[in-house]
Chains A and B, each alone.
Chain A
C-alpha cells in the first residue's frame, strides 16, 4: 500500500484537530500549553506537506520553540492547585461564549466568500514556497512594508527593554 500525500494529509489533519481541541478542552493548563505546542508542530508539518519549508520551520522556531516556552514558563510558576476555579464566574463565561460565537461567525462568513484560486497543476511552480522566492518577494516587491514591520518590531523591542529595566532603588532578586 503506497503512502500518498493525501493520506498523510488526512492523518495529519485529524491529529491537528484533536490536539487543537485538547487545548481548550483539557482542565490542566499544563496539558493545554503542551497540546498547543503539539498543534503548532503539526501545523508546521502541514506547511512542509505544502512544500513551504521555510514557513514551516520558522513557525516551528518562533511559535513552538520560543513563544510557547515562555507560556510554559508562566504556567510552571503558577501554583495550579490554588488557581483552579477563580476566573470562572458567570460574566466571563458569557463573555467567552459571545466572543467565540462572533469569531465563529466571522470565520464562516469569510470561508463562504472565499474562492479557491487553484492554478492548473502544469503551471504550479515547485519553488513557490522556497526561501529564495520569499526573499525575492520581500526585498523587491514588498520592501517598504517589510522595512516598516521591522521598525515596528524594533519599537516593541525597545519597549520591552524599558519595561524590564530595573529602576534605581527598586528591589532586585
Chain B
C-alpha cells in the first residue's frame, strides 16, 4: 500500500476518534455531574444512557434553525464553522503512538510530524478565538457581544502564560517537535517530575483556553444570559458546545504528551522485547502505547469534568489578576530557575521555584490580618 494512503487512514482515524470522544464526553460529563450530585444522570436511552449523545444529535438537527432578523447572516453561520474548524485542526501534530510497520514502510501514528509541532498547536489555539468572536458579534445582541469580548480578552491573556510555561519544557528538550518531547521522556523521566510548576500553569491555562469552569466567564449565565451563543439554536449551538469538548480532548492529549510521557509507560522496553522486533510485535507494542496515551488523555478529560463540578466560577477581575499578576510572573520565574538548573545540569531544579513560592505564600498568609485570609483574594481595595 502506498504510504500516502496509510497516512490518510491514520488522519481519518484520528479525526473520527476525536469526534467520538467529544461525543461521549457530553455523556460522561452528565454522568460525572450526576455521580457528584448523587443522582443517576442520563439513563433512559440505551444501557446506562449510552445512546444519549445520538439522541441529542438527532434532537439538535431537527430543531428549528433560527437566525435573528438583525443578525449578520453569513458571519452568524461562519461562527460555529470556525469554532469547529480550529478545534479539529490542532490535533494534527499530536503523536498518538509510536510507529507502525506496514510492509516495508514505517509510518508514524500522527497527522504530521513537523519540527515546530507545539507551536502549531499554539497557533491554532490563538486562531480559535475567532469562532467565538465572530459568532458573538454577528448575533447583534449586547450579551453575545459582551461574552465574545470576554472570551477574546481571556484567551489572549492566558495564551501568554501558556506560552511562557511551554518555554521551560522546550528548554529542557531542545526541540519544538511534540514527538521529540515525548521521546526524551522515555524510561519514566516524565516532565511532570522536572516541571511541576510549569505543569500547573499549563493546566490552568488549558482550562481558561477551553472556556471551562472555573474560567467559563464567556458563557456566564448569571451575568450574560448565555454568553456568546445566546442567539444560537439547533445544531449551530451544538457545534459550539461540541467544539468545546473537542478542544478539551485535544488539550488533554497535549497535556499528557508534554508532561506525562505521551505513549511511554513503565517497562515498555521489556514489553516490546517480549513481543519481538518483527512487524506484528512492533505493531502490537505501538497499539499498547496508543492505548496508554488514550488512557492518559481520557483521565484529563475526566479531570476537566471533575473540576467543573467541584469549583465555582471566578469573578472577572479575579480571572484577569490570576492571569496577568500571578501566572505570568510565575512562568517567568520558572523559566529563569529552569535555566539555572540547565546551566548546572540539575534537571529537577524547578522544584526550587515551587518550594520558594510555597514558602513565600505561607509567610504572606501568616503575616496577613486574620479578616483578610482566604484562598481567593478579596475585592481589590479602592
- B126 lies within 8 A of A60 (CB): yes
A116 to chain B: which residues have CB within 8 Å? none
Q: Once the chains are docked, how many angstroms separate the CA of A121 from the CA of B119? A: 29
- A131 lies within 8 A of B176 (CB): yes
- A69 lies within 8 A of B133 (CB): yes
A66 to chain B: which residues have CB within 8 Å? 126, 156, 159
Interface status of B72 (Cβ within 8 A of chain A): yes
Tell which of A51-59, A91-99, A107-115, A142-150 binds the partner: A51-59
Closest to A76 in B: B137
Please give the number of chain B residues whose Cβ is less than 8 angstroms from any Cβ of chain A in the complex. 25
B133 to chain A: which residues have CB within 8 Å? 69, 72, 76
| A30, A76, A131: the one within 8 Å of B115 (CB) | A131
A139 CB to nearest chain B CB (Å): 14
- B156 lies within 8 A of A57 (CB): no
Contact flag A37-B152 (CB < 8 Å), given A30-B72, A61-B122, A131-B176: no
Interface status of B130 (Cβ within 8 A of chain A): yes
B260 CB to nearest chain A CB (Å): 24
- B149 lies within 8 A of A65 (CB): no
- B152 lies within 8 A of A58 (CB): no
Which residues between 132 and 187 of chain B lie within 8 Å of chain A, taking CB atoms? 133-134, 137, 145, 148-149, 152-153, 155-156, 159, 176
Interface status of B123 (Cβ within 8 A of chain A): yes
- B115 lies within 8 A of A130 (CB): yes
Range, interface on chain A: 20 to 34
A34 CB to nearest chain B CB (Å): 7
Q: Once the chains are docked, how many angstroms separate the CA of A65 from the CA of B156? A: 9
Interface string of A73-108 (1 = CB under 8 A from B): 100100000000000000000000000000000000
Closest 8 CB pairs of A and B: A65-B126, A60-B123, A57-B119, A61-B123, A53-B116, A57-B123, A76-B137, A57-B116
Report which A residues bind B (CB closer than 8 A).
30, 34, 37, 41, 44, 53-54, 57-58, 60-61, 64-66, 69, 72-73, 76, 130-132
9 A–B pairs (Cβ distance < 8 Å), ordered by A: A34-B130, A37-B130, A61-B119, A61-B126, A64-B126, A73-B153, A76-B148, A130-B115, A132-B115
Given contacts A37-B130, A44-B123, A54-B119, 8 further A-B contacts (CB under 8 A): A34-B134, A54-B116, A54-B176, A61-B123, A73-B149, A73-B152, A131-B115, A132-B115
